[in-house]
Structure 1
Amino acid sequence: MHKITISNLDDDMRFRLQKRAEKHGRSLEEEAKEILYMALTENREEPLNIATIIEQRFADLGDFELPEILREPIRTVSTFEE
C-alpha cells in the first residue's frame, strides 16, 4: 500500500473529520480512507437507475398518489400514398 499526506488541512476540517471518526469508532486515517473509498466507488457497484434516483429525491415527502392522466386513443399512422 502507498501512503499519502494531506497538507494544510484547516482546523475546522480536521475537527469535523475527528468528530466523524469518533462517531464511527475509527481513527482519523481509517475515516479518511473510508471517505475516499465511498467517493471513488459510489457508482461502481450499481448502474445508474433514474427511477431509483427520483424515488430517493422525493422520499422525504412521504407516500402520496398522483392522479391518473387520461390519454387519447392511439392515432392511425399516415401512409402518404394518396
Structure 2
Amino acid sequence: MATLTIGNLDEHTKAQLRIQAARHGRSMEEEARTILRAAIEATQPTGAGKGLGRRIKAHFAQLGGVELALPNRSSPPSPAQFSQEGSR
C-alpha cells in the first residue's frame, strides 16, 4: 500500500475530519481513505466497467421499452446456401 502525506491542512479541516471519523467509528486515516475513495468513484463515468450493450440499455432505460408485433412465419427457416463458384 502507498502512503500519502497531506501538508498544509488547516486546523478546522483536521478537526472536522476527526469529528466525522469518530462519528463513523473509524480512525482519521480510514475516514480520509473513505472520503478519497468516494470522491474518485463519483468522478468515474456512469458506465465504467460495463459493456457497450449494458451502457446503451442503461442510457435508454428511462424511456421505457417498446414491444414490437412479430409476424407469423409463413415457412420454416432455411439455412443460407453458399456456392463454391468464384471462391479462391
Give the TM-score of the pair, scaled to structure 1: 0.53
Per mean C-alpha deviation after superposition, the further-off stretch among 20-29 and 34-43 is 34-43
Q: CA RMSD in A?
A: 2.5
Alignment pair present for 1:31 and 2:31: yes
Match of 1:42 in 2: 42
Higher radius of gyration, 1 or 2: 2
> Which segments of structure 1 move beyond 2 Å, counting only runs of 4 or more?
43-49
Give the corresponding residue for 1:19: 19
Instruction: Give the Å deviation of 1:30.
Output: 0.1
The runs of 5 or more residues in structure 1 that have no matched partner are 50-82
Aligned residues: 50
C-alpha distance in 2, partners of 1:35/1:17?
10
Specify the alignment match of 1:10 in structure 2.
10
Q: What is the percentage of aligned positions where both structures have the same residue?
A: 39
For normalisation by structure 2, the TM-score amounts to: 0.49
